[in-house]
Amino acid sequence: MIDIHLSHSATALPLYQQIEQQISWQVIKGRLNYGEYLPPSRELARQLRVSRGSVVRAYEALCMKEYCHSHTGRGTMVIYREKPNASPPDPVTSLSSQLPHAVDKFLPGGLSLLPSHASTAHLPVSEFRQAFNRVLRYPDRLNHFGESAGNLELRQLICDQILPSRGISASPHEVLIVPGSQYGSLLLAMTVRQERTCFHFGEPGYLEFARNFSRFGYGLQSHRMDAEGIDISGFRPASKDILYLMPEHHFPQCITLSDARRSEIIQLACQKKVLLLEDDYDSEFYFDKVPHPALRSTAAAAQVIYMGTFSKVLFNNVRLGYLVADRHLVQQMAALHWSLSRGTSGLLQQWVAELLKNGIYSRHLRRMRMVYRHKRDDMVNLVRKYLPDAKFTVPPGGLQLYVRFIQPGKTHQIYNWLTSNNIQVADTGNYTFDTNAKSDFIVIGFANIDVNECETVLQRINQTLYSVSDRL
């Protein structure tokens, strides 16, 4: 008899996904071995008191992910075999700051603690499908590129439904739709390089945009981070400078820019004409308070390029984001975007416009805020329980915990343990250019985790890596 425990709470995963995840977990852990047959779907459905459809769907998913194979008439057999042990990368020396690109591998069934992964388990798939079908009702539109700055309806919907919650009032002509903020940062780098030459950023931090600007010949200048956000005390601002900020939630430390720093930065922008690049990648997910209004809504608005993304509310691979800037700059970037790729996928834009128009997006966001809040609280409790020397601040929002350890060497041990157990975890070397810097933290992305699975993992870490006196 397979040991499966289902949760029927409001925020739990759909039953078929819980079944699929628990079976795949047992396969990975060697509790179900190559060649073994899963119980017939009818029998498991009876045992779990769920509909047979849920079990069939779970089995289909297991086959799709190549854990199992279904033989007509014989049943569903486990076909997963453990790969020989690869030595885990070293978080301190495997710095990938020099890499031209990183590959986000799909590890079938492995638990992902990557902070960039939104939960795909709670996506309203049938509403997504209906919205997509509505787009396909008008196939004529599929041959037209439309405006290079983006689908006008989508830009209007962003102005009406998304930007006001950040205090931003914009017209669609000030909005540029891009295939993700990464791409948006490249367009900006290419467009303003006559006037701007130096890119300032906080380190450790999210360095992908700095890498993009350096590709186009910009000088890079890093600034220290402290509890108030980026420390600009050593900054001698000039009008050739771009200052990159994640004001609500500097990644990965989850630092919110203090009011004092915020005013200082607004002054820099107004008086010294520093251009601010505001990366507002996850402020939709604030749980305990409302985020500050965006810098783009302040007196410095004219000096701010605002960036938003659909990667967190929908999913990472949707590749859709938007920039808000003055209309002249939007036109320039749109012209470049047209030359590079004939604009952003029209099909995708129409689909997301459908999600916004029909309230699917806002319902999903409201639900996910609740789901993520629960996950954050569960994760905080688990980390406190099983990693007794972990030091962290409970973030008011966002989708990750930034955790340090009191015991020397513990970060390294935990990182190695996770990677050698098929658990995806961010390489913290990516957050600094300093190849000698010691990464003494771990970033735990909790959006896409299954809490039960995570508890089992942390329990095992507790038993393996903590001495008897530290243990529960």
Alpha-carbon distances of 447 from 93, 296, 451, 466, rounded to whole Å: 28, 28, 10, 26
What is the separation, in whole angstroms, between the first and last Cα of the chain?
Answer: 30
For 333, phi then psi, to 5°, come to -65, -35
Cβ proximity of 431 and 101 under 8 Å: no
Inter-axis angle of helices 125-136 and 346-357, to 10 degrees? 120
Task: Please say which residue, 24 or 311, places its beta carbon nearer to ligand PLP.
Answer: 311
Q: How far apart are CB 15 and ligand PLP at their closest, in Å?
A: 30
Q: Which of 59, 251, 372, 392 binds ligand PLP (CB under 6 A)?
A: 251
Q: How far apart are CB 206 and ligand PLP at their closest, in Å?
A: 4
**Residue 268's beta-bridge partner residues?**
none
Please give the order of strands across the beta sheet that includes 400-405. 390-391, 400-405, 441-445
CA atoms within 13 A on the CB side of 160: 11
Residues 190-219 that bind ligand PLP (CB under 6 A): 206
- Paired tokens of 6: 């289902």
Task: Please say which residue, 59 or 183, places its beta carbon nearer to ligand PLP.
Answer: 183
Q: Which of 151, 309, 419, 448 binds ligand PLP (CB under 6 A)?
A: 309
Cβ proximity of 227 and 455 under 8 Å: no
Cβ proximity of 397 and 287 under 8 Å: yes
Measure the CA–CA gap between 22 and 452, rounded to whole angstroms.
9
Residues 254-293 that bind ligand PLP (CB under 6 A): 279, 281
Question: Pattern 3-32, binding to ligand PLP, x per CB under 6 A?
Answer: ------------------------------
Q: Which of 113, 246, 257, 294 binds ligand PLP (CB under 6 A)?
A: 246
Check binding of 322 to ligand PLP (CB under 6 A).
no
Task: Please say which residue, 59 or 244, places its beta carbon nearer to ligand PLP.
Answer: 244
Task: Please say which residue, 209 or 386, places its beta carbon nearer to ligand PLP.
Answer: 209
Check binding of 448 to ligand PLP (CB under 6 A).
no
Alpha-carbon distances of 166 from 114, 153, 290, 423, rounded to whole Å: 26, 20, 10, 35
Q: Which of 180, 204, 229, 291 binds ligand PLP (CB under 6 A)?
A: 180
Task: Please say which residue, 244 or 405, places its beta carbon nearer to ligand PLP.
Answer: 244
Q: Which of 11, 70, 182, 422 binds ligand PLP (CB under 6 A)?
A: 182
Stretch that binds ligand PLP, among 148-156, 174-182, 258-266, 414-422 (CB under 6 A): 174-182
Check binding of 181 to ligand PLP (CB under 6 A).
yes
Task: Report strand pairing: 75-78 vs 390-391.
Answer: unpaired
Residue nearest to ligand PLP (CB): 180
Measure the CA–CA gap between 350 and 333, rounded to whole angstroms.
21
Question: Percent helix, strand and coil across the chain, each rounded to 5?
Answer: 40, 15, 45
Q: How far apart are CB 311 and ligand PLP at their closest, in Å?
A: 4
Q: Which residues bind ligand PLP (CB under 6 A)?
A: 116, 180-182, 206, 246, 251, 279, 281, 309, 311, 321
